[in-house]
Amino acid sequence: MKEVLTETEEKMKKSILRLEHDYATIRAGRANPSVLDKIQVDYYGVPTAINQMAAISVSEARILVIQPWDVSSLHDIEKAILASDLGITPTNDGKVIRLVFPQLTEDRRKELVKQAYKYAEGCKVSVRNIRRDAMDKFKAMKKDGEITEDDLKDCEKQVQNATDKYCKEVDSVAAKKEKEIMEI
């Protein structure tokens, strides 16, 4: 019984961490190396993450510098960035690639906020699915005679409290991301 509660809480925490990771990939007008996390470069026939083949640094608030360890991969990295949906044209000077993040328009900011809230809603659905799975496990335990009716009610209450807590946390993370996006 306790292990089911612990496992449920762990899964809900992981959902929040996943949401925060997804939010890191949304570019909010300032340079953030994690926007490159989803981009894979074809490096000698193997899809490789950019951060595994180059040093990525923020030189100014809106400029990201990518310095590959193998200069021959510069063109491949540039090609992968252009092919991605990042929406930024890289500048290649033969040694490093610079990504200049433009100032976001009001419409683009609103689009990004909508995208952020879609991620948040997906996270809430995930948390609710975890709750449902836990409730099903407790009902099966009750049916098998492992726990009593009172234990079942107590466990359901604890799982619901955890669900409410993590849904509120999702809302607060989403509000924080909205504030960051709408900030000029």
| Residues 50, 52: Cα–Cα separation, whole Å | 5
Q: 139-158, pLDDT tens digit by residue?
A: 999 999 888 999 999 999 99
Q: Is residue 15 within 8 Å of residue 130, measured between CB atoms?
A: yes
Q: 24-43, pLDDT tens digit by residue?
A: 777 666 777 888 888 899 88
Instruction: Clarify whether residues 130 and 175 are in a common domain.
Output: yes
Q: In whole numbers, what is the pLDDT of the chain averaged over residues?
A: 89
Q: Which domain holds residue 64?
A: 33-100
Boundary-marking domain end, from 71, 100, 129: 100
Instruction: Clarify whether residues 112 and 174 are in a common domain.
Output: yes
Boundary-marking domain end, from 100, 128, 145: 100
Instruction: Clarify whether residues 159 and 116 are in a common domain.
Output: yes
| pLDDT above 70: percentage of residues in the chain | 98
pLDDT of residue 27: 65
**What CATH number should be reported for the domain holding residue 147?**
1.10.132.20
**What CATH number should be reported for the domain holding residue 81?**
3.30.1360.40
Tally of domains within the chain:
2
